[in-house]
Amino acid sequence: MAKITMRQAISQALWEEMERDPQVFIMGQEVGVWGGTYAVTKGFYDHFGPERVRDTPIAEAAIIGSAIGAAMTGTRPVAELMTINFAFSAMDHIVNEAAKLHYMFNGQMVLPLVIRTVGGGGRQLGATHSQTPDAVFAHFPGLKVVAPGTPADAKGLLKAAIRSNDPIMFIEHATLYQVRGDVPDGDYIVPIGKSTVQRSGDHVTIVTYSKMLELSLKAADELAKDGIEAEIVDLRTLRPLDIEPVIESFKKTNRAVIVEEGWKSFGVGAEISAQIYEQAFDYVDAPIKRVTQKEVPLPYNRDLEQMALPQVEDIIKAVKEVL
């Protein structure tokens, strides 16, 4: 066990999997000579060489399309999209190919493919580079969508993703790379499709994931000062969604706040709250609240951007409203 950053945890997972399995290789923009635009693959090119750490042209459809083809032949590509905003240029291949081929050809085609990408706002990158469209990807059966909130989960989930035979969107958060946490050494695997309780409490259930886990934990610490104990369920995987720990927690607290960085309309919170109402209606003591990004394209100006993004205070306020 060592205290390392999210960046190091992800890097470690990639490195260990490449050492373990020669079929694993990395491809994407600036993953090689540059060392990754978020420095995750620094040193990989020199160690593993240009065949296994492949710099690509700026051509997202070609990156994802060719990664799909290579995966179909039995290799295990980890294709990197520099940001999730650029995934829209590869949307056809993610949605119409990666998510469909296994089913459409009745299991003939197997796609051990990981699409590593980075989402989230808060870095003054403007509307086109700051989105959190995780729910969009979670909409499609055939695709798995993973979004870790801690360094340990990042390592364990990425290793699980690389070993999986299904196509997986692995969504990292741009402002979590420097976050530190205890990460088990060596072969540490976190199963895909398992939510987990990150903090126990009896008064309210906060359902969240990725960057918003960090804010939710801060909010819970503040609330504890007022004697309010929040239980935090971290989804970790959006599809397949593991709703059980959410329902279990809700049946105990009877109150829920769902915190996501994306927009409220048709979002993760909409899905979670619907499932709570469907599965635990008799346990509802207060309307479920959602804390989300405001419904605007994210602006560049620092203050305006922060006004649009969910804040710790918003979570505290929402919790107090449901109590």
Partner 1 sequence: MEKSEHLNLYQQMVVIRILEERSAELYQQGKIGGFLHLYIGQEAVSTGLISARKPQDRVITAYRDHGVAINCGLSAREVLAELLGKATGVSGGKGGSMHLADVNKNFWGGHAIVGAHLPIAAGLALGDVYQKQDGVTICMFGDGATNIGYFHEALNLSKVWKLPVLWVCENNQYGMGTTVERASAVSEIRLKADGYAMKNDNVDGMDIMKVREKALEMIEEIRSGSGPQFLEINTYRFRGHSMGDPERYRQQEEIRKWQENDPIGIYRKYLMKQKIASEEELNEEDKKATEIVEDAVHFAESSPEPAAEELFKNIYVEEGR
Contacts with partner 1 by CB under 8 A lie at: 23, 25, 51, 54, 56-57, 59, 61-62, 64-75, 92-93, 96-97, 101-110, 141-142, 144, 164-166, 192-193, 239-240
Least Å distance, CB 139 to partner 1, is 13
Rg (CA), the chain: 19
Q: Which position among 129, 172, 231, 271 bears the catalytic label?
A: 129
| Nearer CB in complex with partner 1: 191/287 | 191
CB distance 139 to 131 below 8 Å: no
Least Å distance, CB 110 to partner 1, is 6
Pick from 175, 177, 169: nearest CA to 133: 169
Least Å distance, CB 241 to partner 1, is 8
One-letter identity of residue 79: A
C-alpha distances out from residue 148 to 81, 153, 186, 289, Å: 17, 6, 18, 23
| Nearer CB in complex with partner 1: 117/293 | 117
| Nearer CB in complex with partner 1: 53/259 | 53
Within 13 Å of residue 165, how many CA atoms lie on the same side as its CB? 9
Query: How far is 160 from 157, CA to CA, in rounded Å?
Result: 5
- For residues 79, 157, 91, 94, the Cα torsion angle rounded to the nearest 10 degrees is 80
For residue 20, give every residue at least 6 positions away whose Cβ sits within 8 Å of its Cβ, in sequence order, or none.
Answer: none
| Nearer CB in complex with partner 1: 65/310 | 65
C-alpha distances out from residue 223 to 29, 44, 67, 246, 313, Å: 43, 43, 46, 20, 10
Query: How far is 118 from 85, CA to CA, in rounded Å?
Result: 8
| Nearer CB in complex with partner 1: 62/323 | 62
* β strands within 86-167, DSSP E: 114-119, 144-146
Q: Which position among 16, 17, 60, 80 bears the catalytic label?
A: 60
Least Å distance, CB 252 to partner 1, is 26
One-letter identity of residue 51: E
Least Å distance, CB 62 to partner 1, is 4
Query: How far is 269 from 260, CA to CA, in rounded Å?
Result: 7
Alpha helix segments (H runs only) across 111-243:
134-138, 151-163, 211-225
129 is catalytic: yes
Least Å distance, CB 143 to partner 1, is 9
| Nearer CB in complex with partner 1: 58/307 | 58
Q: Which residues are catalytic?
A: 60, 129
